């Protein structure tokens, strides 16, 4: 296959992480409290096993597990849009009991630190000398994440000890699509220049949908994004929430909340058993069985049989009817199918031949059949393509894109981006947005306006550059600031327009104090990548200045 790279998966997972059906580790982490601080204890399935064991032991002795803090299923807490009034704030996440809170930056950086140490150790075992300086780390992220969430991941990597020059981000649906293509010799040949495909990345927390068009596929594959990224928070964990709501209805909401707080290990086991039901459920299933243990089994009323769920108090399991399972799936599945059909009906997607599915939720035969049925409306669509290992497609594709980022030729701007400028107040300007400023001893009436950098839906080649001259500088200043806005429409002219949302605050730090006349700054914005990149130079001297876009 053209451009195919051999990718070795880690097989030597330790402890309870070993012997799993795939190489993907559970994103779970356990800390121990030591002198008021959290100290890393274990990660992945090992963390879950350790916490469950500690919980059972402490419960038998009549004490609690307050000496340990366990985080699991927290990825969606990192997905946040910028509030137009408050701006971005780093998320705080709760542990599984809901009693402990920690900055997500600390928790995520500790996860990355563990995986970093594992990779470095394994490479040393393989005879690689000084591996720390030879690794390019690729962090996969949902494409629907805003720039602050992406920046958060880069800061977490830095906190974990990864140098900025050795880490890059990769958008998960792009990785999934590239893996599907590269892993199929037939498909690699079928995709001619002009071919279009849609990617459904159905994960545990999010749905990412994007579309590509092949622009080159002779010696190297290159594709361009032809629809802005779409999706939302409709991953398979929302089916887990629906299941937990059913348990709450059976035993009572307050009792269920108390049970979850006091028995997090039992809740983990219950959700793992329900996960097996989700994976096996089809439209032909008459029922699914979820085994119950211990205290929870005792809380279910004997002979309970309502709303398609009945309890067998001899076998200690819940029998969920096929119709009830379908109802729990419905909200997520309907949103996924609706998003897909909306994309395929767009003018840009006319003639789309393929739909790729990846992500853990794509392993659901029920979801795949619903997607396949919806595709019957589109005559041009030849195939629904799903890799053998749904979860690993993103991992393998991320490696491929890390080695050859030129595969992605261009992306669509999800919104317009603009920067604010100050100018003299003119007749007809809004008086409520005017202010007075002293400039060289003269009191002048001023207002602010927006200068567009890129337009919404603009086709941006990777590395697309927009240059701007000067930023707001005062005499004797050692730095200059400006504001970057994201705009929901291309005709936004003012930062006071409700469709303009503060994206971040730009700060350029000088090497020494400058007067306003001396500080002519050229700021270069690079678009089309996974996120905006910004750099600044002093026009007179050509010196590069430290440039940061802060989202807080």
Query: Which residue reads 């997972």 in tokens?
Result: 13
Chain-centre distance for alpha carbon 370: 25
Per-residue pLDDT tens over the stretch 6-34: 777 775 455 555 555 455 788 899 999 99
Distance from chain centroid for Cα 250: 34
Tell me the mean pLDDT in the region 169-190: 86
Which pLDDT tens digit goes with each residue over 97-128? Answer: 888 999 999 999 999 999 999 999 999 998 99
Mean pLDDT of 424-453: 81
pLDDT of residue 1: 42
Report the pLDDT averaged over residues 511-528: 88
> CATH number of 416-550: 1.10.3210, 3.30.450, 2.60.34, 3.60.15?
2.60.34
The pLDDT score that the predictor gives to residue 253 is 93
Pairing of the two strands 221-232 and 408-412: parallel
The pLDDT of residue 471:
62
Residue 406 · residue 222 · CB < 8 Å: yes
pLDDT digits (tens, 9 = 90+) for 203-247: 888 899 999 999 998 888 999 999 999 988 888 989 999 999 999
Q: Give SS3 for 414.
A: coil
Helices and strands: H and E segment counts in the chain: 12, 27
Domain range 15-170, its CATH number among 3.30.1920, 1.10.530, 3.30.2320, 3.30.420: 3.30.420
Per the model's pLDDT, the better-predicted residue between 77 and 333 turns out to be 333
User: Tokens 């003012």 identify what position?
Assistant: 494
- Please state the domain extents for the chain: 15-170, 416-550
Structure confidence at residue 88 (pLDDT) = 72
Average pLDDT estimate for 483-512: 92
- E strands, 247-334, are 287-291, 305-306, 309-312, 317-321
Per-residue confidence at 507, pLDDT binned at 50, 70, 90?
A: very high
- Which residues make Cβ contacts (< 8 Å) with residue 360, sequence separation at least 6? 202, 203, 204, 236, 390, 391
């Amino acid at each position: 296959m053209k451009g195919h790279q051999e990718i070795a998966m880690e097989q030597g997972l330790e402890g309870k992480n070993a012997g799993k059906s795939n190489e993907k580790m559970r994103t779970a982490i356990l800390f121990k409290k030591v002198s008021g601080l959290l100290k890393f204890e274990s990660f992945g399935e090992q963390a879950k096993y350790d916490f469950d064991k500690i919980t059972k032991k402490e419960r038998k002795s009549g004490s609690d597990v307050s000496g340990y803090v366990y985080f699991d299923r927290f990825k969606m807490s990192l997905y946040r849009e910028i509030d137009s009034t408050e701006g971005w704030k780093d998320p705080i996440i709760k542990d599984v009991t809901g009693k402990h809170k920690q900055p997500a930056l600390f928790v995520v950086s500790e996860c990355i630190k563990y995986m970093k140490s594992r990779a470095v150790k394994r490479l040393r075992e393989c005879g690689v000398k000084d591996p720390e300086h030879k690794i390019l780390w690729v962090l996969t992220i949902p494409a629907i994440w805003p720039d602050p969430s992406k920046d958060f991941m880069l800061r977490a990597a830095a906190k974990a000890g990864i140098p900025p020059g050795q880490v890059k981000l990769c958008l998960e649906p792009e990785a999934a699509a590239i893996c599907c293509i590269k892993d199929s010799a037939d498909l690699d040949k079928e995709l001619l220049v002009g071919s279009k495909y849609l990617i459904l990345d159905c994960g545990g927390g999010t749905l990412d949908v994007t579309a590509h068009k092949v622009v080159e596929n002779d010696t190297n594959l290159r594709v361009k994004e032809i629809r802005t990224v779409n999706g939302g928070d409709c991953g398979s964990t929302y089916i887990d929430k629906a299941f937990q709501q059913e348990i709450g209805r059976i035993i009572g909401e307050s009792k269920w909340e108390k049970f979850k707080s006091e028995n997090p290990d039992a809740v983990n086991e219950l959700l793992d058993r329900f996960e097996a039901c989700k994976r096996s459920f089809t439209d032909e299933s008459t029922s699914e069985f979820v085994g119950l243990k211990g205290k929870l089994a005792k809380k279910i009323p004997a002979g309970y049989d309502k709303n398609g769920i009945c309890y067998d108090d001899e076998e200690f399991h819940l029998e969920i009817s096929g119709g009830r399972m379908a109802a729990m799936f419905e909200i997520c599945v309907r949103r996924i199918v609706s998003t897909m059909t909306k994309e395929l009906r767009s003018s840009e997607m006319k003639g789309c031949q393929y739909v790729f599915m990846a992500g853990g939720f794509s392993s659901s035969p029920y979801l795949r059949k619903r997607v396949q049925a919806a595709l019957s409306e589109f005559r041009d669509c030849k195939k629904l393509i799903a890799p053998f290992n749904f979860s690993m497609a993103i991992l393998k594709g991320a490696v491929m894109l890390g080695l050859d980022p030129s595969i992605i030729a261009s992306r669509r701007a999800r919104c317009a981006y603009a920067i604010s400028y100050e100018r003299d107040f003119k007749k007809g300007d809004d008086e409520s947005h005017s202010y007075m400023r002293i400039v060289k001893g003269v009191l002048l009436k001023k207002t602010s306006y927006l200068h567009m950098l890129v337009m919404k839906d603009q086709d941006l080649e990777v590395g697309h550059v927009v240059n701007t001259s000067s930023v707001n500088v005062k005499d004797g200043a050692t730095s200059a600031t400006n504001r970057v806005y994201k705009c929901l429409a291309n005709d936004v002219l003012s930062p006071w327009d409700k469709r303009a949302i503060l994206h971040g605050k730009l700060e350029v730090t000088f090497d020494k104090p400058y007067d306003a006349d001396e500080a002519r700054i050229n700021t270069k914005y690079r678009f089309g990548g996974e996120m905006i990149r910004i750099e600044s130079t002093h026009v007179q001297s050509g010196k590069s200045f430290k440039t940061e876009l802060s989202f807080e």
